Structures are given as C-alpha cells and as structure tokens.
Structure 1
Amino acid sequence: MSFRVELPQNFRQRLEDATGPLVGMWACAGSPTTAEILAASGPDWIMIDAEHSPVGLESTLDLLRAMAPYPATSVVRLPALDPVLIKQFLDLGAQNLVIPMIDNVEQAELAVASVNYPPHGIRGVGSALGRSSRWNLVNDYLNRAPEFISLTLQIESVEAVNNIVAISTLEGVDSLFIGPSDLAASMGYLGQQNHPEVVKTISHCIQVAKDAGKKVGINAFDPVQARDYVNMGVDFILIAADVQLLAKASQQLLADFRSE
C-alpha cells in the first residue's frame, strides 16, 4: 500500500490564513520535553532559538520532532547568515527560518539565494539524504521546495532600519521580524527596549513592512508593550520564553512561600 507524505503548512501560509496576530513563545532551553510542553499549551507558533541558546543541529531535530504532533508552527532562528548552516537546517527539516542581523539588501539577497535550489539560488542538493523531503518520500520535493519553506529576516540595527525599504521589497522575503533588544543597543539605548525613540523606530519599521505587503513580527515580553505592538499592526509576536517562564515562576514561588 502506498503512503503519501505531506509536509505541514509553512509559516508564510499560516500568516496568510490568520485572522489575527499569531501569538508564540521561544524554545530556548534545548529540551524536547520543555518544547513539547510549550507546544501542548496552545501557542500559534514556537521559535526555536539557535542564536542565543545551546541549540544546534541535532537538538533542533529533536525539538522539531517533539513538537510535530501539535498545531503550533515551528520556526527556527539560525545563529547567523551562513549558506552552509541554512542548507543544514533546511535539510534536517526546518521549514521556517529566521535569519538574524540582516543589515542590508546584499545580505537579504544572500539569504534568499541560500534557501532556494539552482537556478534560483545556491542551496546544495541533498534531498535524498535529508528529513526535509522525508528522504524523498515527499513527491517531487526538489521542484516543490518553495511551497514548503518560509524565510523571515530579522531587523535589529540602525543600518537595517536605514535599508528596510529595500529589504522589505525584495522578492523571496516572506516576512520581517523586529528585534527590539539589539535595535535599542544599536540606537544607543542598551537595555531600554521601551525607550520612546526605540518604539518610534519600531513603529516606522512596522509601517514600512505593511506598505511593502510583507508580514511583520516582533518580540515583546512586557504584556503592555506586546499589546501596543499588536495595536500597531504586527502579524506575529513572541510573548515569552521557556527559560524566562521557569525563572520567573521559580523565583516567585520561593518568594511567596518564604513570605508566609
């Protein structure tokens, strides 16, 4: 009996079908159990962080498998713009990539090329060996790969803001993700993500992305700030991280118990 293998809907498609902002959380601990708990709790999407967390290729594979049974869309933030890393993460089955520290259109073009096979890009061909195609069990994966992949570029520097029009209008870029922490630091407001000038700049970036017809998202652990960004029109948002939730809850539990 033949069995038809189909891949999950990608992040671009989830955003296109959404009737409101997609709400998500970070998976930073590198633990499949923690990631599965997050996925089971009901977020729209989960960002696996391979940039600032102890998450590599093998652990990303474990996290993707742990979250696969649940409706949340898995997105992976890579450590850097590197065609080799992009190829490896795609081949292990990461369909939705966020590339950090994109400052100009040349870097954006390299990112787009890296997620596409020739003649439209430079991605190496190894589908028969990779989970991306379920080892060639996905029908015609090589020609259909663009159906399965989404590319999000992270805007988090003054240079990126200055180039955001060119970046946001580039074909092949599905969405933009604003990083308030690094953007604040780049603007001279280290640790002040809610500084009025930072918020003003973020508002500008959101509007430019919307004008270009691109989906735009942001990270905001402050609930009040998160709702403000939703009101500004973001299409997707991260409101917490597994490690942050554990740290805050543990500290609060101990403080409450000791006070009694």
Structure 2
Amino acid sequence: MDLQLTGKTALVTGSTSGIGLAIAQRFAEEGANVIICGRSQSKLEAALKTFPAPEKVKAVLADAGSQAGIDALTKEVPAVDILINNLGIFEPKAFSDITDDEWHHIFEVNVMSGVRLSRYYFPKMIEKNWGRIIFVSSECGVVTPGDTIHYAMTKTAQLAISRGLAEETKGTAVTVNTILPGPTKSEGSTAFIRAAVANDSLSEEEMEAEFFKKMRPLSLLQRRCDPAEIAAQVALLCSPFGAITNGAAIRLEGGIIPTIL
C-alpha cells in the first residue's frame, strides 16, 4: 500500500535507536525526506548505516532536549511536513529518591523538546495547510507505575499538549496526535526487565515472559512490541489516509490499558 509520503519531509527526534530509528526507517521506505538527529556523532553515523540509502537521509548533530539544541536543529531544518516528538529519557526510581533537579531535567527533555519544536513548526504547517505532529507518549501516561512516576508525569503531559494543539487545527489539513506504545524491544527495556526480574538463570525470552506475567498482567500481547510495529502505525497516521484521526491518543500498548480508561 502506497502511503503517499513520497517527497514529504519528516523530522524524527531521538532517532538514533529504538522506536525513533524504526519510524525514520519506515518513512525512508515510504519515500519521505528523512531527518534524524542526536547528541552523538558516532551514534548518528551508526544509525545512518541502517538505511538502504544513507546518502538520502539528513543527520543533524543537535541536542533537542535543550533550547540551544533546538535553535541549531531548526536552523538546519527550517520547515517540515511531519514532526515526530520521540525524544525521551527513562529511569526507574523510587519517588522519595527523585530530586528536584531530576524532576526538572526529565520534564525539560521529554516535554519541552516537543513543545519547542511544535511551537516552531506548527504555525508553518497551519500556513501551508498540511502537516502531521505526533508525540510519542507511553502507556505509563495513563497507567502510572510506582517506580517511574516522574517519567509517567511527562508522558501524561504530552497527552494534554497534543490534544490542546489539535484544537488549533480545526478546518485545516493539519493533525496532532499522541501514540501510547507499551514496553518495546530495545537495549534499555532489556536491561529494565533483567533488573526487574532479577533471575540470571533465565534466558532473555524467559525473563520477558516472567516480566509480563507478574509485572504487566493486564497486557493482552504478553510480549514487548517491535519498534517496526510502532513505526507502521505512525506512518499510517502521518499519511493522507490518517487525515480523520486528530486529537487522539492511539493505544499501541498491547492491551495494557483497561478499556474503561
């Protein structure tokens, strides 16, 4: 199915690995002009090598988690058709141990990166009368785990920002949505599951099964999502075929969130 993204310009933050990289790869497959960004030149170079035609992908060295980084990024990329606010940091920590500085830092990276980029690109999309903005939230933004309250707070904030921004798109061909991925395959999630299960005698597959059985019992999928599965949904939402989905929180979490919510 041709998603009609050929020639569209798509910027994906946090795109040197995981969900962000998978989304960027899918956009490239669909013929979009893709921009990836990150703070590490070596990680950017490694990410570029995963694309069939790396010379067609623009890599920008910039920290989108800071205002200075946003200024550098928007100077390099003055306009986009699609903005994926994927940048985020994650750390499980007991609530009583989270310092004020840690609260401010995670908000700055996870929330303000998307706020600043949307504030820059959104008016241009409205003026052109076409655009897509997606915030990559999490099921934690709805069902908050006790060991990641500060992270979950940022994911809930993204829901509010996305819906409010969507209200400003009435009568246009611009949409703003949020996706809610569940636990997704990555080095970080593997380390998190290993620490949570704390049984080195189990294989990675066994640890994952144990994790979902005991710690994510509401999951209907009972496994981690593949980043490519998330990317496919994002590509559809960003295509012209996704025009009727606006102001929505799209559940891609494998059934963790109860329907009544």
TM-score clears 0.5: no
State the TM-score, normalizing by the size of structure 2: 0.37
State the TM-score, normalizing by the size of structure 1: 0.37
